[in-house]
Amino acid sequence: MEMEQMNKVVGDEEKERDVKVGMKRKLRYTELYIRWLTLILSLAAAIILGLDTQTKVVPITLVSTLPPINVPVTAKYHYLSAFTYFVVANAIACSYGGVSLILTLANKGRKNGCLAKAIIMLDLIMVAVLASANGAAAAVGYIGHEGNKHVRWNKVCNVFGRFCNQVLAAVGVSLLGSLLFIFLVMLAVLNVQNKH
Amino acid sequence: MASPTSVAAAPAEYEKSLASRGAAMVDVVLRVLLFIGSLTAVVVMVTSKQTELVPVPFPPFGRLPSTATFTDTPAFVYFVAALSTAGLYSIITTLLSISALSKPGYSKTWALYIVAMDVVMLAIVAAASGTAGGVAYIGFRGNSHTRWVKICNIFDKFCQHAAGAILVSMFAAIVLILLLLHSVFTMYRKIPN
């Protein structure tokens, strides 16, 4: 009777350990998948804005008597510093996503606390950099879309509609990427708490 | 009579409790720094009103008084809102940290919630700093391609206030990063392998 009870207790303990191991494995796969997703999303955002250029022919009336002159005007992403910062930040986030993915894969199982702490620190810095890049691009895009009558900055998006739509798409994709980076930090904290 | 093992174990326990109290103190100090930073940034940005005589570009040509405040740009409005949220958040979490100083226990779920909220706050404050910085840079340099004229040559005090507020918000973001690193490393120490 006692032996049966002891066997049942041992069986329960083994089941609990199996559940814990299963959860740890699921967390590890989730973390790898999310790192891969951040790589893809920040790469997409950098490409969408990096290849964003639009040329439009605008009729400009110099004198009311002469017919309007057709002038081709171009919009490129590097005409605005905020967009340059956005592309650079997303390129950095993409390369960091790749490097951290490879490092995390190579570090499987081994409890190398040093590497894990370095990756958490770099994840936090990436959250900050990506969030600021998103904010800058969104602010400048908003000024381009609405203009600002107090400082007499005219809106640009009535002429360059496709350019502005691509900016909006890039900012949206990068927003998703930065949300994933936030989620990565929380996942790292969960990993630390589930260490035993 | 106390057994030798219990007397030997007492200093180790005392050291561990000292270390955890030290960690809690660092936490409180960092959160107070965050509060000071957010408050300073909000106050400096809100008090940045400046009125100047500006030449009017259309007839009748003359000089009209024009005012620049932080409400002229939605970017600066978001900046003030985000930093105010960070200030309020820092007050609440400072009080929570101070109350955790006296209690000897360490709660895992509380630590996870605080870290999650800290990361979200970091994203909000960093986005505010980037947003205001982007717009302030255009106001400082202008942009020849979009024909946006620079305004900082006229409204110099306004631009100085904005630049100061943005720098202080960057300091607040760094304090948040330090807080998060401190929380995570404390977790590494407290939860043994």
B188 or A177, greater pLDDT = A177
B6: confidence class by pLDDT, cuts 50, 70, 90: low
Q: Convert the pLDDT of each residue in B83-94 to its tens digit.
A: 999 999 999 999
Question: What Cα–Cα distance (Å) separates residue B190 from each residue in A84, B20, B122, B186?
Answer: 43, 9, 24, 6
B127 near A136, Cβ under 8 Å?
A: no
The nearest alpha carbon in chain A to B107 belongs to A193
Q: Are B99 and B31 in contact (CB under 8 A)?
A: no
Q: Which residues contact A110 (CB under 8 A, 6 or more apart)?
A: none
Residue B63's identity, in one-letter code, is R
Yes or no, beta carbons of B112 and A186 under 8 Å apart: yes
Strands B50-55 and B63-68: antiparallel
pLDDT of residue A9: 77
Q: B20 Cβ partners below 8 Å, 6+ apart?
A: B104, B106, B190
Query: Distance between CA A145 and CA A158 in Å, rounded?
Result: 8
Cα separation, B52 vs B30, whole angstroms: 40
Measured CA to CA, the distance from residue A114 to residue A116 in angstroms comes to 6
Contact list in A for residue B188 (CB cut-off 8 A) is: 113, 117, 192
| Interface size between A and B, measured as CB pairs under 8 A | 144
A140/B135 touch (CB, cutoff 8 Å), yes or no? yes
* Residues in chain B within 8 Å Cβ distance of A80: 138, 143, 145-146
**What share of chain B has pLDDT > 70, as a percent?**
92
Q: In whole angstroms, give the CA distance from residue A128 to residue B164.
A: 19
List chain A residues with CB under 8 Å of B133: 132, 136
**Cα–Cα distance measured from residue A78 to residue A132, given in angstroms and rounded to the nearest whole number:** 18
Copy the structure tokens of residue A109: 């199982």
**Could you tell me which residue, B20 or A44, shows the higher pLDDT?**
A44
Question: Tens digit of pLDDT for each residue in B23-75?
Answer: 889 999 999 999 999 999 999 999 999 998 888 777 777 888 888 999 999 99
In chain B, whose CA is at the least distance from the CA of A133? B130
When CB atoms are compared, the residue of B73, B135, B181 closest to A121 is B181
Per the listing, tokens 């790192």 go with A35
Chain B residues touching A143 at Cβ < 8 A:
73, 75, 135, 138, 148
Inter-residue contact A80 to A156 (CB < 8 Å): no
- What is the value of ipTM here, to two decimals? 0.87
Interface contact A135-B126, CB threshold 8 A = yes
Peptide bond into B4 cis (omega under 30): no
pLDDT at residue A196 in the model: 45
**pTM recorded for the entire structure:** 0.88
User: Are β-strands A69-76 and A53-60 bridged in parallel, bridged antiparallel, or unpaired?
Assistant: antiparallel
- Residue by residue, pLDDT tens for chain A (196 residues) are 778 788 777 778 888 888 877 877 887 888 899 999 999 999 999 999 999 888 888 888 777 788 888 888 888 899 999 999 999 999 999 999 999 999 988 887 666 678 888 999 999 999 999 999 999 999 999 999 998 888 888 888 888 989 999 999 999 999 999 999 999 999 988 888 776 4
CA distance B178 to B118: 11
Q: Which residues of A touch B147 (CB under 8 A)?
A: 154
**CB within 8 Å: A132 and B129:** yes
pLDDT tens, position by position, B119-141? 999 999 999 999 999 999 999 99
Say if the Cβ atoms of A154 and B131 lie within 8 Å: no
Q: What percent of chain B has pLDDT over 90?
A: 56
